[in-house]
Structure 1
Amino acid sequence: MCHDWGESGDGAVVVLEGEVGWLSCSLFSHPSVYNYTSALSTGLNLFWYRLPAGHDLEQPIGYSQRLSKERERLWLQPATAEDTGQYICMLSNKSSCTKISMRLEVLARDQVVRGCEPAVAVAPSQVIAPLQEGMTLDCPDLQDVVKMADSSPSVTWYHRCQKFPTWGSDREQRGLSLQIHVMLTTYDGSYYCTVHYQRRGRELQYSRSINVTAVYPSSLPKHPSILQPTQDHIFKVEQGCTQVRLECRGHFPYLAGDWDIWWTVDGKKVEELNNSRFFQNNRQVKYDYGDRTVESVLLIQNLQAKDLNREYNCSVRNQRGFDTHRAHLEQEVPLPSVELGCGLGVTLLLMLVLFVVYHVFWLELLLLYRSWFGTDERHTDDKEFDVYISYARNSEEEQFVLTTLRRVLENELGYSVCIFDRDSLPGGTITDETLTFVARSRRLLVVVSPGYASQGSQALLELKAGIDGMARGGHLRVILVQYRPVRRQGWVRELRRARVALALVRWQGDKSRELTSRFWKRLRVELPVRRVSGVEGGGGGGEEGGSEGEVALRRLHSQNSTSSQTGLITNTVKEPQKVISIAAYL
């Protein structure tokens, strides 16, 4: 009777051609079943067989200097391509036997060469190296080879295609081992070691690889923690929602032991609930030098009202500690989306309407505000006139000033207007009277035209006086009214400087004749505050609060304005010294 265990489940043994390799009998991989020393003591013997390709019966192995048996191992020193095949190890005595088969694969060197790295057929060993700490690397399987060698073996180390000893002072080879004094992040990766030894006069070797993984130092805190949710976090649940997703993220510092993250519902783990509506899924979202962040998602299908009152806890654990956070479910009150959208739309529409209204009627709104909240300057200063009009002395501008500006300002808007040619007394000095009139006025209205402010003219004197009054104390404001377009090079220096900071109101002919036109509204914004309704209520007379005598006097001046132009010419001819005074001032 022979008990056949079939083929070993450990997979094929891979050996590089030309290097040392061996097969360990898999029957002894279960010490509780078979032990080599105990098996021999009970009369069992170990035999090796080989099943050549294309044969049905195994054949005994003929041992030689290259193929030898040492305890439970079959050594190939070195392995050749012909050694590839299936091998059987058998424990037997006169009455029974037990056998198991293993497969050996001998690879050519060009099948495993990886760039500049040494050729290695065996899977790499895994080593964890804490940063800023020291450690020692030993070439795998070295102790087994030492027993077979006739002399002390030697080991050559490689890292990232560099051969020791060109690595620096932090790493050095001591005997057969590689000593890393201070582990750095640049020292991780794959290390290769090649073992050389002699046996029975033959030079033999084999190569192994070690994968070194850097982790955070062991001196750092290693207790697990929950990143989210916070303690007693509330998860909002929308009305009518059929699936709820609860997310928990735990942080696990590197430890060699086990760790775990889980959800509990009413104190029971998900697998203990026996309820298919609850499902938990874990995944790693971050790995940083051994520290890992793991996300655990609890899915609740077909949400029921009683699920809102359950107790949910997310917990994490490792060998150093435990942490847990409680979460709550709360139904979210839906916002009135239709009402909110309509309200927002109405608000935006109202803002748009207000913007359009302000953009179109800003002058009217400004005049309305001034009529309600504006201060009447007559109560705050001792000026006699509201407006002093300065213009070029020619027939066209005089006609515009006397028949249009003066008439509307005095009769329609109720302002007190000063016109030098009308209000000055004969026999005076033009310079002194001009300066006096300008100083006694609240506004200087300058009618700009191509013939205005030529050198040595009275208009230039009036302009300079107004600008000087603004500069000294701000008790006088200058307003520019463009009667006819003027090229900029035709403006005198004083007028160009004034244009930068002063308001310019443009007369547009017939479009500006009506009192409701933009010209008069814009002009009223620059003039002192007057309420038109009060003027009209007074029968089209003078200013509010003015006496009947003042109104009559103002009307008399208006009726005699045409005849006063002739007086201006006569006075200018009869008194040439006034012209000389203007030239001297300028």
Structure 2
Amino acid sequence: MWTGVYWALPVILLLLPGVQVTFYTFQETEGFLTGMQPSGYIALAGDQFIMQCASLNQSVIYNDSESYQNKVAWFRHYQNGGQAQPVGNGQENIILKGNFLWFPKLETVHSGVYSCQIRDEKIYLTLAVIQKDKTHCQDYAHSTVDLLSGSGDSITCPAMTCYSASGHLPVRWYKNGKLVKLNKNRPTLELENEKLVLKTVYKRDAANYTCDFNYSENDTLWIVRRMLTVRVFGKETKIPPSILNFNGVETIEAELGKPLTLECRVNFGFERNSTPTIKWLVNSNDNSTDISLELEESRIVEDDGNGKTIIHTAYFSKVTERHLIATFTCFAQNFQGNTTGVLRLKKKSPVNGPFLTYVLCGIILTVIFIFGGSAYIYIHWIEIVLLYRNYFPYDETIGDGKEYDAFISHANHSSSEDILESEEGGGVTEEMFVLKLLPEFLEQQCGYKLCFLERDVLPGGAYTEDIVASIKRSRRVIYVLSPRYISSPCIFELQTGINQLLVDDQFKLILIKFRPLPEMDTLPHIVKKALNILPAMKWNGSKSNHSDSTFWKNVRYHMPVKKTKISNGDPGL
């Protein structure tokens, strides 16, 4: 049949420098033909193909271990006697894997002589690729076999009938590269010449299979190799296909003069011997015949073994008035029956250009307004709250049983530090701030009632008891913090306020850092933690002097909400 090809390749081998073709006698084992060494492989164009770096007729036809990746070198030899070229790097659709060459899709240009070097051994192999349409045989087509789990079936080596029955011996079957042999643990498996008989099909039978058989013609021996994929499915479907993206009659919008794509998504249950049918049908109500689909195509988007989902599309380059009065039917069919779904088109209302511009501008301006307003509120939140209190006053102090709005906790003063404090505090000492500025602003201008230990608590009592009682009778405690405060017994007052904070939900602490604080490693743990967590206001010297400064607004913001009269004037000025 292909005598010219058969004789040409051995001649090529003889012409190549350094290549020897050796024929030798070997014993007949497991049905192998005796008397000659095979000259190479015959394979079919369009198939995938594997060629191992080993002598022919092996029990394992490939090993994809990465340990071979850098130990095997493949070359291709050409008839002109030029230098052999390395192969397997993906060029010409030839890929090196493990110790074999993989041809994902054979072409006739792949015919030729190949050699491989592994360790100190060099092996020459011949490959003859035959085009299917160049032969008179019709048994080449199938390379995928579908089997039903639990049933009995067989796998036939493709193209066996295309070769003279007297010229070949039983087929050697390989599953995932390993020779298939009869096994007493699998009595349902039988080898019958060209067939692999599975009396019971199991899920594990799904694999890549290879069938080899020897073929001789005109005293030349070849190995014919075919590869096929076996898939194992569950049960065949008993229902017609189903259209997934619309049911019955559905109407979609289309714009005149614009292109349009119709899409029909159909699910087909598994059928072994059926090819799904899906197409679009056009029915024009005015009986015209000039409506036609310009392009139809199908693609499989899902195939899970139990069925497949196919999307079938139809395309129009330009929608006309005739399309609007026509009906488009998606027709899907399998062996169990057929299903249809109907689409109608309606004219899409044009979008007014200026109106769309106004809408977009309005959306943009709204977003800008929202973000800008949010930013303004965040920055001026304190002023907004204070303004609200002025125009919508209410009193949170009514009925709470407290006597003072705030207890003032501060350190005792030393005249020797007044000059330094005056310089760092913008002309204001800590004593001046506590005894003059705070009362002038909170009591005289805002109308709050403050509690000073030295002014409002009768002398003669125990210090600790007086502090605890004063704090419990106050709604806030204002702590004027400084290095002097941290190193003084006043820490007890801060600790007492923190404890009260834990038991009274309405009670709050107001921390004012009059001067930077030193390291606080020696402080009680609860005090140190509170100073790190609670927010504190910072006295900024002359910047904080006037009553409209951010500092005094923050102080007032944290004080209790009550009906007060705000008088103008700057504290201490």
Q: What TM-score do you get using the length of structure 2 for normalisation?
A: 0.61
Alignment match, 2:24 = none
Tell me, in whole angstroms, the C-alpha distance in 2 between the residues paired with 1:176 and 1:240.
Answer: 61
Q: Does structure 2 conserve the Cα–Cα contact (< 8 Å) formed by 1:284 and 1:292?
A: no
Alignment match, 1:172 = 190
Mean Cα displacement is larger for which, 208-217 or 311-320? 208-217
Alignment match, 2:509 = 478
Alignment match, 1:352 = 371
Q: List runs of 5+ in structure 2 lacking aligned partners.
A: 8-37, 44-49, 58-126, 416-428
**Paired residue for 2:450, among 417, 428, 438?**
417
Q: List runs of 5+ in structure 1 lacking aligned partners.
A: 1-12, 20-107, 541-557, 559-586
Give the superposition deviation at 1:182.
3.7
Give the superposition deviation at 1:391.
1.8
**Paired residue for 2:230, among 214, 238, 246?**
214
Give the superposition deviation at 1:349.
0.8
SS at match of 2:516: coil
Alignment match, 2:153 = 135
Q: Does structure 2 conserve the Cα–Cα contact (< 8 Å) formed by 1:371 and 1:529?
A: no
Q: Does 1:526 align with 2:462?
A: no
Q: Does 1:159 align with 2:159?
A: no
Mean Cα displacement is larger for which, 470-479 or 445-454? 470-479
Alignment match, 2:273 = 256
Give the superposition deviation at 1:379.
0.9
Deviations 1:42-70 (A, max 9, x none): xxxxxxxxxxxxxxxxxxxxxxxxxxxxx
**Paired residue for 1:331, among 347, 350, 355?**
347
Tell me, in whole angstroms, the C-alpha distance in 2 between the residues paired with 1:528 and 1:293.
Answer: 69
Q: Does 1:315 align with 2:331?
A: yes
Mean Cα displacement is larger for which, 323-332 or 202-211? 202-211
Tell me, in whole angstroms, the C-alpha distance in 2 between the residues paired with 1:492 and 1:136.
Answer: 87
Q: Does structure 1 conserve the Cα–Cα contact (< 8 Å) formed by 2:481 and 2:515?
A: yes
Q: Does structure 1 conserve the Cα–Cα contact (< 8 Å) formed by 2:397 and 2:561?
A: no
Q: Does structure 2 conserve the Cα–Cα contact (< 8 Å) formed by 1:244 and 1:299?
A: yes
Q: Indicate how the Cα distance of structure 1 residues 243 and 372 shifts in structure 2: closer, same or farther if over 3 A, else same.
A: same
Deviations 1:306-328 (A, max 9, x none): 42232221102233311111112
Tell me, in whole angstroms, the C-alpha distance in 1 between the residues paired with 2:549 and 2:444.
Answer: 17
1:293-442 equivalences in 2 (<5 Å): 294-333=310-349, 336-371=355-390, 375-394=394-413, 395=415, 396-425=429-458, 432-442=465-475
Deviations 1:9-44 (A, max 9, x none): xxxx4358889xxxxxxxxxxxxxxxxxxxxxxxxx
Give the superposition deviation at 1:227.
3.9
1:547-562 equivalences in 2 (<5 Å): none
Q: Indicate how the Cα distance of structure 1 residues 159 and 484 shifts in structure 2: closer, same or farther if over 3 A, else same.
A: closer
Q: Percent identity?
A: 22
Tell me, in whole angstroms, the C-alpha distance in 1 between the residues paired with 2:237 and 2:226.
Answer: 28
Give the superposition deviation at 1:397.
2.8
Tell me, in whole angstroms, the C-alpha distance in 1 between the residues paired with 2:367 and 2:6.
Answer: 84
Q: Does structure 2 conserve the Cα–Cα contact (< 8 Å) formed by 1:222 and 1:255?
A: no
Q: Does structure 2 conserve the Cα–Cα contact (< 8 Å) formed by 1:391 and 1:452?
A: yes
Q: Indicate how the Cα distance of structure 1 residues 164 and 351 shifts in structure 2: closer, same or farther if over 3 A, else same.
A: closer
Tell me, in whole angstroms, the C-alpha distance in 2 between the residues paired with 1:448 and 1:365.
Answer: 28
Tell me, in whole angstroms, the C-alpha distance in 1 between the residues paired with 2:404 and 2:506.
Answer: 13
Q: Does 1:112 align with 2:42?
A: yes
Tell me, in whole angstroms, the C-alpha distance in 2 between the residues paired with 1:294 and 1:429.
Answer: 90
Q: Does structure 2 conserve the Cα–Cα contact (< 8 Å) formed by 1:223 and 1:322?
A: no
Deviations 1:264-288 (A, max 9, x none): 22279xxx96426533423343585
Tell me, in whole angstroms, the C-alpha distance in 1 between the residues paired with 2:547 and 2:211.
Answer: 98
Q: Which has the larger radius of gyration?
A: 1
Q: Indicate how the Cα distance of structure 1 residues 389 and 158 shifts in structure 2: closer, same or farther if over 3 A, else same.
A: closer
* Equivalent position amino acid for 2:212 in 1: Y
SS at match of 1:409: helix
Alignment match, 2:258 = 242
Tell me, in whole angstroms, the C-alpha distance in 2 between the residues paired with 1:431 and 1:143.
Answer: 111
SS at match of 1:389: strand
Deviations 1:336-381 (A, max 9, x none): 5323311221122112211221232121123234456675243122
Q: Does 1:499 align with 2:497?
A: no
* Equivalent position amino acid for 2:438 in 1: L
Q: Indicate how the Cα distance of structure 1 residues 472 and 212 shifts in structure 2: closer, same or farther if over 3 A, else same.
A: closer
Q: Indicate how the Cα distance of structure 1 residues 412 and 491 shifts in structure 2: closer, same or farther if over 3 A, else same.
A: farther
Mean Cα displacement is larger for which, 422-431 or 500-509? 422-431
Tell me, in whole angstroms, the C-alpha distance in 2 between the residues paired with 1:535 and 1:173.
Answer: 106
Q: Does 1:14 align with 2:2?
A: yes
Deviations 1:417-469 (A, max 9, x none): 222333344666655544443333222222112222544x5x45544543443
Q: Does structure 2 conserve the Cα–Cα contact (< 8 Å) formed by 1:156 and 1:195?
A: no
Q: Indicate how the Cα distance of structure 1 residues 320 and 215 shifts in structure 2: closer, same or farther if over 3 A, else same.
A: farther
Q: Does structure 2 conserve the Cα–Cα contact (< 8 Å) formed by 1:442 and 1:475?
A: yes
Tell me, in whole angstroms, the C-alpha distance in 2 between the residues paired with 1:218 and 1:420.
Answer: 90
Alignment match, 2:545 = 513
Tell me, in whole angstroms, the C-alpha distance in 2 between the residues paired with 1:209 and 1:176.
Answer: 12
SS at match of 1:378: coil
Q: Indicate how the Cα distance of structure 1 residues 423 and 277 shifts in structure 2: closer, same or farther if over 3 A, else same.
A: same
**Paired residue for 1:191, among 211, 216, 226?**
211
Q: Does structure 2 conserve the Cα–Cα contact (< 8 Å) formed by 1:388 and 1:445?
A: yes
Tell me, in whole angstroms, the C-alpha distance in 1 between the residues paired with 2:506 and 2:162.
Answer: 108
Q: What TM-score do you get using the length of structure 1 for normalisation?
A: 0.60
Tell me, in whole angstroms, the C-alpha distance in 2 between the residues paired with 1:427 and 1:205.
Answer: 124
Tell me, in whole angstroms, the C-alpha distance in 2 between the residues paired with 1:222 and 1:209.
Answer: 37
Mean Cα displacement is larger for which, 222-231 or 110-119? 110-119
SS at match of 1:264: strand
Give the superposition deviation at 1:245.
1.2
Tell me, in whole angstroms, the C-alpha distance in 2 between the residues paired with 1:138 and 1:426.
Answer: 113
Alignment match, 2:480 = 447
Give the superposition deviation at 1:515.
1.1
* Equivalent position amino acid for 1:496 in 2: K
Q: Indicate how the Cα distance of structure 1 residues 535 and 517 shifts in structure 2: closer, same or farther if over 3 A, else same.
A: closer
Q: Does structure 2 conserve the Cα–Cα contact (< 8 Å) formed by 1:195 and 1:205?
A: yes
CA RMSD of aligned residues (A): 4.4
SS at match of 2:407: strand
| Paired residue total | 425
Q: Indicate how the Cα distance of structure 1 residues 377 and 488 shifts in structure 2: closer, same or farther if over 3 A, else same.
A: farther
Mean Cα displacement is larger for which, 286-295 or 432-441? 286-295
Give the superposition deviation at 1:523.
0.7
Q: Does structure 2 conserve the Cα–Cα contact (< 8 Å) formed by 1:280 and 1:296?
A: no
* Equivalent position amino acid for 1:14 in 2: W
* Equivalent position amino acid for 2:279 in 1: W
Tell me, in whole angstroms, the C-alpha distance in 2 between the residues paired with 1:141 and 1:482.
Answer: 97
Alignment match, 1:31 = none
Q: Does structure 2 conserve the Cα–Cα contact (< 8 Å) formed by 1:444 and 1:477?
A: yes
SS at match of 1:229: coil
Q: Does 1:230 align with 2:251?
A: no
